[in-house]
Structure 1
Amino acid sequence: MNNIAIWGASSGLGAAMVDYFHEQGFNVIAIARNPTKNPHIAQYDLMSITCDATDKTQVENTVAILPDNTLNISTMGSFHADIPVDYIGHRYLIDTLEKSTSKRLLLVTSLGCGDSWQFMSDRAKNVFGRALREKTLAEAWLKSSALSFTILRPGGLKDGAPTHHGQLSQNEEVHGAITRGEVARLSYELLLNNASINQTFQCVDPNIAPY
């Protein structure tokens, strides 16, 4: 059974990842600042670890107790937080994973990061700009690391189960939305496909209205 650590497992996309990977038979390790916010972690009887990723020591201690060769997914984010985790938390995580046996990381960021910034509207840049810049820094740190990484930039996130209509693309202008469950399904496909290593993808579901 594959071990997978899900960083940011307590809510939102991270909670959807917990559900999906548990359903696929993975040994899920749920990591969050407050894992009790997600009742499914206890319901599924999963290993949970309390970790504030903006604290380097907590990240190091968490990675140290992961089983060898654990796969990692990070959905961590902190829109409008006083100390955003998007960059510094991922920097600590990436640096620590580099020293471990668990060198496979799928980082979920957002449309608008990196070279997709140019396709964002002025309104979106004004609202989400700081968070997108933090996530872009995290992407850059990961790309220059020794990890076997995949970066996934979903469109606007909606609650909902996998739809099986999500579309992955690279290096093109994309707009739209997608359910959290579908992002989890696509993450599963990417994480187990070696062709996705050191690649950046974006995903939207053309059947879902963006607003």
Structure 2
Amino acid sequence: MINPSYIFLAGASRGVGREIAHCLTQQKLKVKALLRSEATRTDLEAMGIEVVLGDALRISDVESAITQGITAVISTIGGLPKDGDRADYLGNKNLIDAAVKAGVQKFILVSSIGSGDSAQALPPQALATLGSVLAEKEKAEQHLINSGLTYTIIRPGGLKSEPATGDGVLTEDPRVAGTIHRADVAQLVCRCLNSEKANNKILSAVDRQMMYGQPDFVEFDVS
């Protein structure tokens, strides 16, 4: 079991990261979040989250933020390029390297269906559109796998912002694709945090009611 004393969250300002922030604070966990700007600082602090300003693309910022005593790191970062570098790889690489240095027990990386062997789950047009992003995400995944950290990689399908449905599921089957609400991804991430079954696993996340096609697959039980 992960000692829940201190969870570090990168990507808490929006999207899946914000939903994870809600999930963690509802569980009364101590959370520290890395933000690039002050924009959402007040909101996160009102949730009881400790905020540290910094850029994941700067290793010095990350190393000063991920300190001894942090037991797990969760990262949802990615997005627009900055100075030619995408946070999908470089930002996550910095987080992973700092986590190793700080002796973190577990690292959960939120990636994407289409990365690595799950490329087979997407149609060629989607792969062509997302190829450069997915390549960076795959590099981050591989860096984490090779880091020596205990990890869980979660690859969500297409993301929606509606409330949680409770139908989000995980699977090790890389052929599975579909959509899922961000709030359901967050719930799955929080369940994986304290699941030893999820250690060193790569899992796709979809809503069982919103799958592309209906392939037979085995759900991954994180309980």
**Counterpart Cα distance in 2 of 1:178 and 1:199:** 19
Within-5 A mapping of 1:14-93: 14-37=17-40, 39-64=42-67, 68-81=69-82, 82-93=84-95
Residue 168 of structure 2: aligned partner: 166
AA paired with 1:189? R
Number of aligned residues: 208
Which deviates further from its counterpart, 74-83 or 52-61? 74-83
Per-residue deviation, 1:39: 4.8
1:103–1:147 contact (8 Å) kept in structure 2 = yes
Residue 125 of structure 2: aligned partner: 123
Query: Secondary structure of the residue that 1:49 maps to in structure 2?
Result: strand
**Counterpart Cα distance in 1 of 2:43 and 2:132:** 31
Residue 204 of structure 1: aligned partner: 206
**Counterpart Cα distance in 1 of 2:126 and 2:81:** 14
Query: Secondary structure of the residue that 1:57 maps to in structure 2?
Result: helix
2:180–2:210 contact (8 Å) kept in structure 1 = yes
AA paired with 2:31? V
Cα deviations by residue, 1:62-88 (Å, 9 ceiling, x for unpaired): 113xx5142111000114554211111
Q: Aligned in 2, Cα 1:17/1:170: closer, same or farther, shift over 3 Å?
A: same
Per-residue deviation, 1:18: 0.7
Residue 180 of structure 1: aligned partner: 182
Q: TM-score, normalised by structure 2?
A: 0.87
Cα deviations by residue, 1:110-150 (Å, 9 ceiling, x for unpaired): 00001011222122112211111000000001111110100
2:120–2:174 contact (8 Å) kept in structure 1 = no
**Counterpart Cα distance in 2 of 1:147 and 1:107:** 12
Q: What's the RMSD between the two structures over aligned residues?
A: 1.8
Q: 2:110 aligns with which of 108, 111, 117?
A: 108
Asked if 1:133 is matched to 2:135, the reply is: yes
Per-residue deviation, 1:209: 7.2
Unaligned runs of 5+ in 2: 213-223
**Counterpart Cα distance in 2 of 1:118 and 1:46:** 38
Unaligned runs of 5+ in 1: none
1:161–1:179 contact (8 Å) kept in structure 2 = yes
